[in-house]
Amino acid sequence: MRIALVVQRYGLEVVGGAELHCRWVAEHLAERHQVEVLTTTATDYLTWANEYASGPCEVNGISVRRFPVERPRRSEVIDDLAGRVCFGPHTDEEERRWMDEHGPYCPALLDHLRGEEGRFDAIVFFSYRYWTTHHGLRIAPGKSLLVPTAEHDPVVYLRLFRETFRRPAAIVYNSPEERDLIHKVSGNESVPGDVVGTGIDRPASVPVDEVGSRLDLLGDYVIYVGRIERAKGCALMVDHFLEYQRDRRSGVTLALLGRNVMDLAENVHLRLLGVTTEAEKLAALAGARALLMPSRYESLSMVLLEAWMMRRPVMVNGECEVLRGQVLRSGGGLYYRSYEEFAEAMDLLLGRPELGDRLGAQGHAYFEANYSWPTIMAKYDRLLAGVAAPARA
């Protein structure tokens, strides 16, 4: 089968959740299908600055074709528009302007897809909220899959996305909670779909025994992995952790792995480790007492899957339906909704190592049963066959 994947950013340097999700799926689909990725020349979603060269190239053996973004993301414009369309009365025209400013505004990608869509048996679009997906889905909806990666935030309620969720031939959901949310906001129950998620690519070598000294992670530590920003709940997580240390006089360290966009001051128990390799990240997870995931908005937490792959328990923000659902279905961790619950969960995982090991083992069993690559690819193949057969006919 000939498959095009359309995504807003793509590359080894692009480590965002949806974009990494797309790259892993592309590489596994390529084991049995002809795959081409259509994307932009941007690497930064905050600016959409053109950094890659346009045209065809290859990334990890996958054919990639890049197109230039014609309009930069102007924060002063998009912030004002976002405030209006998300939190107050507004017009449909303002929603359309928000989409153009949100971007990535890339007409050349759509022109190429219009001219070449006949070469593909199926087209897979990643992330509902981007310009490339919103407009690209109109080109050949009958043979298009949408991987929405939708979160329970104000944007999902915009009127223009009701049609987006009804347009594709089928939808690849990340979690039951995401599916229920999209049904609620769009009434698209008649669109076929399945809860699929993603597998996790594990490097050939994970330096579990070396990562402590390599990253200077000595003694007990809990870990956060991802963008270090307020929108991900990191500010409250750090406040909870520091309050916990003051209350308990604990020697535990909070290690933060990822790109930091907050004004945080390191101390002996709060470590900013920056962006590490995939192997170092997994090794650091394996050595942690627990993974902390404070976000309120997720469609599926890939880092939870990574922690469970490495047999470690998780502590998640119980205000996030998706994270809470992942924990309840797996038995792989604990959730909290207040500082008091955060402190109790920390006490349990630090004071009872055998409990953390048991929760980590349960998470690992859940991961193996639901997120192995053969399981994920079997679901993709069924959905792709379903949209490609009518298109070929």
User: Residue 22 is part of a domain; what is its CATH number?
Assistant: 3.40.50.2000
Do 247 and 323 fall within a single domain? Answer: yes
Do 172 and 259 fall within a single domain? Answer: no
Residue 111 lies in a domain: yes
b/e per residue 9-39 (b: at least 16 CB within 10 A): bbbeebbbbbbbbbbbbbbbbbeebebbbbb
Do 149 and 223 fall within a single domain? Answer: no
Task: Calculate mean pLDDT across residues 99-113.
Answer: 97
Residue 205 lies in a domain: no
Do 296 and 227 fall within a single domain? Answer: yes
Residue 288 lies in a domain: yes
Do 380 and 366 fall within a single domain? Answer: no
pLDDT of residue 319: 95
CA 285/CA 293 separation, integer angstroms: 12
Give residue 271's domain range: 211-370
pLDDT category, 392, cuts 50, 70, 90? low
Check pLDDT > 70 for residue 31: yes
Do 179 and 218 fall within a single domain? Answer: no
Do 9 and 151 fall within a single domain? Answer: yes
Check pLDDT > 60 for residue 281: yes
Residue 21 lies in a domain: yes
Residue 335 lies in a domain: yes
Residue 43 lies in a domain: yes
Share of the chain above pLDDT 90, in %: 81
CA 165/CA 160 separation, integer angstroms: 9
CB-CB contact of 193 with 165 (8 Å): no
Do 27 and 52 fall within a single domain? Answer: yes
Do 19 and 51 fall within a single domain? Answer: yes
66-84 confidence digits (pLDDT tens)? 999 999 998 889 999 999 9
Check pLDDT > 60 for residue 393: no
Tokens of 348: 């349990």
Residue 206 lies in a domain: no
pLDDT of residue 391: 59
Tokens of 317: 């923000």
Do 24 and 107 fall within a single domain? Answer: yes
pLDDT category, 215, cuts 50, 70, 90? confident
User: Against a cut of 0.85, is the pTM above it?
Assistant: yes
Residue 177 lies in a domain: yes
pLDDT of residue 209: 78
Do 142 and 258 fall within a single domain? Answer: no
pLDDT category, 291, cuts 50, 70, 90? very high
Do 129 and 231 fall within a single domain? Answer: no
Domain count, the chain: 2
